[in-house]
């Protein structure tokens, strides 16, 4: 029986701790995240258009169309921001919740987390204020 080499031992002990799927998702998120600034600018332009339509006293249909365009732009920017956040958190963050949590505490991770939260808030606020949808209020009994 032959004894194992040092190289064989290190290969057994120092195997990568991330899955192949995590690597694929990481690289895909990097690509999606690259388009974040362009998508954010489209969302800003859609928001400016909505504000212009509202200031001009546009009809309900015009305001609704502009609001829906803003919603689509915010959704695309949010998806890119989430992908950028996941890529910033690193490969280990896909498989390990502890690594993901630690990465969120870094300055870059906190920046992306705040941006994702801000975009989610803007999107929900826009959805709540879309014209043409009757407002339903909860009544306390």
pLDDT given for residue 135 in this prediction: 62
pLDDT at 133 over 80: no
Query: Could you tell me the end-to-end alpha-carbon distance of the chain, in angstroms, rounded to an integer?
Result: 81
In this predicted model, what pLDDT tens digit does every residue of 34-91 receive, in sequence order? Answer: 999 999 999 999 999 999 999 999 888 999 999 999 999 999 999 999 999 999 998 8
134 pLDDT higher than 70: no
The one-character DSSP state at 131 is T
Residues 19-24, mean pLDDT to the nearest whole number: 86
Question: Using an 8 Å Cβ cutoff, are 78 and 119 in contact?
Answer: yes
Rounded to the nearest 10 degrees, the angle between the axes of helix 97-104 and helix 60-89 is 110
> In this predicted structure, what is the pLDDT of residue 106?
92
Residue 10: the pLDDT is: 53
Coil, strand or helix at 27: helix
Predicted confidence band of residue 8 (pLDDT cuts 50, 70, 90): low
List the Cα angle 57/78/39 in 5-degree steps.
70
Give the ranges where the chain is alpha helix by DSSP (H).
Answer: 6-13, 20-34, 36-55, 60-89, 92-95, 97-104, 107-128
């Amino acid at each position: 029986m032959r004894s194992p080499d040092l190289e064989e031992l290190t290969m057994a002990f120092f195997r990568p701790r991330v899955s192949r799927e995590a690597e694929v998702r990481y690289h895909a998120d990097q690509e999606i995240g690259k388009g974040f600034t362009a998508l954010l600018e489209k969302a800003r332009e859609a928001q400016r258009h909505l504000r212009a339509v509202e200031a001009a006293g546009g009809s309900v249909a015009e305001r609704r169309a502009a609001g829906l365009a803003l919603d689509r732009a915010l959704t695309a920017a949010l998806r890119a921001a989430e992908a950028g956040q996941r890529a910033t958190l690193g490969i280990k963050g896909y498989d390990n919740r502890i690594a993901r949590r630690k990465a969120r505490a870094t300055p870059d991770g906190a920046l992306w987390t705040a941006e994702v939260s801000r975009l989610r808030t803007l999107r929900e606020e826009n959805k709540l204020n879309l014209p043409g949808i009757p407002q339903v209020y909860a009544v306390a009994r």
